[in-house]
């Protein structure tokens, strides 16, 4: 996976050139925080699931997750064609049979999907309307920094009930300074639990 991304990144910049040496930690491992979250809180839930990775860019978090969950099907969607080409090439290079890459905008996708995953594409209150009504279970969103204000805006603007939101600190799993302020934010279709930040 690393070799393929390095090769493609020379042609189409999907990972910042100065961050390419941190590809494993900052992109692959970070993406796999969703896998750890699912294994902890929903063991077996991705078995046979349809998962949408919206705003996948070059394939994060979708490609690492598709590799980790071969029994799920992943639709990797991005509105930028050249990034989708990279995701497609990497999926083919890894012989991932459970990946479909789509160059489209969120609004044009039919759905519904079981799960939606994404990695800091935009603010939560912008992202949520794109996928409202397109998922059966939950959104699993990777986000860093001060997430409290963003969650408050999501609740206020999109009228998402606070009990449908759960946060999990990635550094509970990855004991590294890089992950200190990184979270998996789950927005469930049904009641989860009170927010835990």
For residue 191, how many other CB atoms are within 10 A of its CB? 9
Q: Are strands 113-119 and 99-103 parallel, antiparallel or unpaired?
A: unpaired
| Domain locations along the chain | 2-188
The residue with tokens 């912008």 is 126
Give the pLDDT confidence score for residue 197 in this predicted structure: 47
pLDDT in tens, 25-66: 999 999 999 999 999 999 999 999 999 999 999 999 999 999
d(CA 142, CA 103): 21
Q: Is the pLDDT of residue 194 over 60?
A: no
Which CATH number does 2-188 carry? 3.40.50.150
pLDDT in tens, 6-18: 888 888 878 777 7
């Amino acid at each position: 996976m690393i070799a393929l991304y390095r090769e493609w990144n020379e042609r189409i910049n999907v990972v910042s050139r100065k961050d390419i040496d941190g590809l494993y930690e900052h992109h692959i491992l970070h993406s796999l925080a969703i896998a750890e979250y699912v294994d902890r809180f929903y063991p077996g839930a991705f078995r046979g699931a349809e998962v949408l990775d919206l705003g996948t860019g070059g394939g994060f978090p979708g490609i690492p997750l598709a590799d980790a969950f071969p029994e799920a099907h992943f639709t990797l969607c991005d509105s930028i064609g050249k990034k989708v080409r990279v995701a497609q090439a990497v999926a083919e290079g890894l012989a991932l049979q459970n990946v479909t890459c789509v160059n489209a905008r969120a609004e044009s996708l039919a759905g519904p999907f079981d799960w939606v995953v994404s990695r800091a594409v935009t603010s939560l209150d912008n992202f949520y309307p794109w996928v409202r009504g397109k998922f059966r279970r939950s959104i699993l969103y990777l986000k860093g920094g001060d997430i409290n204000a963003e969650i408050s805006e999501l609740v206020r603007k999109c009228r998402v009930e606070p009990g449908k939101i759960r946060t999990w600190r990635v550094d509970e799993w990855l004991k590294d300074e890089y992950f200190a302020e990184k979270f998996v934010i789950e927005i469930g279709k049904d009641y989860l639990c009170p927010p835990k930040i």
